[in-house]
Amino acid sequence: RVLELTQWVHPGDVAVTLTPEGSVKYIYQVQGWWHIPWDAEAPDIGPLGIEVSYDKTSLAVNDMIEVTATVTSNLDTNTGMVIVDLPIPPGFSLLSDKLQPMVASGELAKIEATGVQLILYVNDIPPGATMSFVYDLVALYPLEVSSGEAEVYQYYSPESRAQSEPVQIEVE
Protein backbone atom coordinates (compact mmCIF):
# COMPACT_ATOMS: atom_id res chain seq x y z
CA ARG A 1 0.00 0.00 0.00
CA VAL A 2 1.27 3.50 -0.85
CA LEU A 3 0.45 6.48 1.33
CA GLU A 4 0.97 10.03 0.12
CA LEU A 5 2.16 12.19 3.05
CA THR A 6 2.77 15.49 1.23
CA GLN A 7 0.20 17.36 3.35
CA TRP A 8 2.30 16.70 6.48
CA VAL A 9 5.64 17.71 4.98
CA HIS A 10 7.04 21.11 5.94
CA PRO A 11 10.46 22.81 5.98
CA GLY A 12 12.82 21.32 8.54
CA ASP A 13 12.85 17.85 10.06
CA VAL A 14 9.80 15.66 9.52
CA ALA A 15 9.37 12.59 11.75
CA VAL A 16 7.41 9.56 10.55
CA THR A 17 6.23 7.05 13.13
CA LEU A 18 4.67 3.71 12.19
CA THR A 19 2.88 1.80 14.91
CA PRO A 20 1.66 -1.70 14.01
CA GLU A 21 -1.51 -2.95 15.65
CA GLY A 22 -1.99 -6.56 16.72
CA SER A 23 0.55 -9.34 16.31
CA VAL A 24 1.29 -8.70 12.61
CA LYS A 25 4.84 -7.68 11.74
CA TYR A 26 5.06 -5.01 9.07
CA ILE A 27 7.67 -4.48 6.39
CA TYR A 28 7.76 -0.88 5.28
CA GLN A 29 9.73 1.59 3.25
CA VAL A 30 9.68 5.38 3.50
CA GLN A 31 10.72 7.37 0.44
CA GLY A 32 11.22 11.04 -0.06
CA TRP A 33 12.26 13.18 -2.99
CA TRP A 34 12.81 16.83 -3.63
CA HIS A 35 13.98 19.25 -6.25
CA ILE A 36 16.81 21.66 -5.58
CA PRO A 37 16.74 24.49 -8.14
CA TRP A 38 19.98 25.53 -9.79
CA ASP A 39 21.88 28.06 -7.69
CA ALA A 40 22.13 31.22 -9.76
CA GLU A 41 25.42 32.27 -8.18
CA ALA A 42 28.43 32.11 -10.48
CA PRO A 43 30.79 29.35 -9.38
CA ASP A 44 34.37 30.07 -8.39
CA ILE A 45 36.91 29.55 -11.15
CA GLY A 46 38.47 26.17 -10.50
CA PRO A 47 41.06 24.08 -12.31
CA LEU A 48 38.55 23.19 -15.03
CA GLY A 49 35.51 24.91 -16.50
CA ILE A 50 32.59 23.65 -18.59
CA GLU A 51 29.89 25.32 -20.68
CA VAL A 52 27.19 23.53 -22.64
CA SER A 53 25.18 25.18 -25.41
CA TYR A 54 22.21 23.91 -27.41
CA ASP A 55 21.56 25.13 -30.94
CA LYS A 56 17.84 25.35 -30.04
CA THR A 57 15.70 24.87 -26.95
CA SER A 58 12.29 24.68 -28.60
CA LEU A 59 11.63 21.93 -31.14
CA ALA A 60 9.21 19.27 -32.37
CA VAL A 61 9.19 15.52 -31.84
CA ASN A 62 11.88 13.81 -34.03
CA ASP A 63 13.82 17.08 -34.39
CA MET A 64 17.49 17.10 -33.54
CA ILE A 65 19.43 19.38 -31.18
CA GLU A 66 23.16 19.92 -31.66
CA VAL A 67 24.91 20.14 -28.31
CA THR A 68 28.35 21.69 -27.85
CA ALA A 69 30.23 21.13 -24.61
CA THR A 70 33.29 23.34 -24.13
CA VAL A 71 35.84 22.40 -21.48
CA THR A 72 38.58 24.82 -20.42
CA SER A 73 41.70 24.02 -18.44
CA ASN A 74 42.71 26.77 -16.02
CA LEU A 75 45.78 24.80 -14.93
CA ASP A 76 49.46 25.59 -15.47
CA THR A 77 50.15 21.93 -16.30
CA ASN A 78 48.56 19.23 -18.41
CA THR A 79 45.38 17.83 -16.87
CA GLY A 80 45.96 14.14 -17.38
CA MET A 81 42.77 12.10 -17.84
CA VAL A 82 39.62 14.24 -17.60
CA ILE A 83 36.05 12.98 -17.24
CA VAL A 84 33.33 15.00 -18.96
CA ASP A 85 29.86 13.92 -17.80
CA LEU A 86 27.22 15.30 -20.18
CA PRO A 87 23.46 15.08 -19.68
CA ILE A 88 21.04 13.22 -21.92
CA PRO A 89 17.70 14.81 -20.95
CA PRO A 90 14.65 12.58 -20.42
CA GLY A 91 12.77 11.99 -23.67
CA PHE A 92 15.87 12.31 -25.88
CA SER A 93 18.01 9.81 -27.74
CA LEU A 94 21.77 10.25 -28.23
CA LEU A 95 23.57 10.34 -31.57
CA SER A 96 27.31 10.29 -30.80
CA ASP A 97 28.71 9.80 -34.32
CA LYS A 98 30.24 13.32 -34.35
CA LEU A 99 32.51 12.27 -31.46
CA GLN A 100 33.94 9.19 -33.20
CA PRO A 101 36.73 11.09 -35.02
CA MET A 102 38.01 12.31 -31.62
CA VAL A 103 38.20 8.70 -30.46
CA ALA A 104 40.02 7.71 -33.66
CA SER A 105 42.54 10.56 -33.23
CA GLY A 106 43.19 9.72 -29.57
CA GLU A 107 41.79 12.97 -28.13
CA LEU A 108 39.12 10.86 -26.45
CA ALA A 109 40.15 7.58 -24.84
CA LYS A 110 36.59 6.34 -24.67
CA ILE A 111 32.91 7.28 -24.94
CA GLU A 112 30.37 5.70 -22.61
CA ALA A 113 26.62 6.28 -22.90
CA THR A 114 23.93 5.40 -20.38
CA GLY A 115 20.28 6.33 -20.69
CA VAL A 116 20.80 9.63 -18.88
CA GLN A 117 24.41 10.62 -19.50
CA LEU A 118 27.23 10.66 -22.00
CA ILE A 119 30.62 10.19 -20.39
CA LEU A 120 33.73 11.30 -22.27
CA TYR A 121 37.19 10.17 -21.19
CA VAL A 122 39.56 12.90 -22.41
CA ASN A 123 43.19 11.77 -22.55
CA ASP A 124 44.69 15.17 -21.70
CA ILE A 125 44.06 18.90 -21.96
CA PRO A 126 47.11 21.16 -22.28
CA PRO A 127 47.56 24.13 -19.90
CA GLY A 128 45.12 26.95 -20.65
CA ALA A 129 43.57 25.05 -23.58
CA THR A 130 39.92 24.70 -24.53
CA MET A 131 38.34 21.61 -26.10
CA SER A 132 34.88 21.36 -27.64
CA PHE A 133 32.77 18.23 -27.99
CA VAL A 134 29.75 18.14 -30.30
CA TYR A 135 26.96 15.57 -30.27
CA ASP A 136 23.29 15.39 -31.26
CA LEU A 137 20.11 14.57 -29.38
CA VAL A 138 16.83 13.50 -31.01
CA ALA A 139 13.53 14.48 -29.33
CA LEU A 140 11.35 11.41 -28.82
CA TYR A 141 8.31 12.82 -26.97
CA PRO A 142 6.48 16.11 -26.43
CA LEU A 143 7.60 17.48 -23.06
CA GLU A 144 9.19 20.30 -21.11
CA VAL A 145 12.39 19.23 -19.42
CA SER A 146 15.56 20.50 -17.80
CA SER A 147 18.69 19.38 -19.60
CA GLY A 148 20.45 18.61 -16.34
CA GLU A 149 23.88 19.95 -15.54
CA ALA A 150 27.12 18.80 -17.14
CA GLU A 151 30.16 18.12 -15.00
CA VAL A 152 33.91 17.94 -15.57
CA TYR A 153 36.72 16.76 -13.31
CA GLN A 154 40.21 15.32 -13.40
CA TYR A 155 40.14 11.53 -13.13
CA TYR A 156 42.69 11.52 -10.31
CA SER A 157 41.24 14.58 -8.52
CA PRO A 158 37.46 14.00 -8.62
CA GLU A 159 36.82 16.30 -5.64
CA SER A 160 37.59 19.34 -7.81
CA ARG A 161 34.56 19.56 -10.10
CA ALA A 162 32.97 22.18 -12.31
CA GLN A 163 29.35 22.17 -13.45
CA SER A 164 27.35 23.90 -16.14
CA GLU A 165 23.95 25.46 -15.65
CA PRO A 166 21.00 23.35 -16.89
CA VAL A 167 18.83 24.61 -19.74
CA GLN A 168 15.05 24.29 -20.16
CA ILE A 169 14.03 22.47 -23.36
CA GLU A 170 10.53 22.30 -24.82
CA VAL A 171 9.40 19.66 -27.32
CA GLU A 172 5.98 20.11 -28.97
Report the predicted TM-score, pTM, of the whole model to 2 decimal places: 0.75
Helix (H) or strand (E) holding 103: helix 100-105
Give the lowest-confidence range in 28-37, 69-78, 81-90, 139-148: 28-37
Cα separation, 109 vs 118, whole angstroms: 14
Cα separation, 110 vs 102, whole angstroms: 9
Q: Cα 85 to chain center, whole Å?
A: 6
pLDDT digits (tens, 9 = 90+) for 91-100: 999 999 999 9
Cα separation, 24 vs 154, whole angstroms: 53
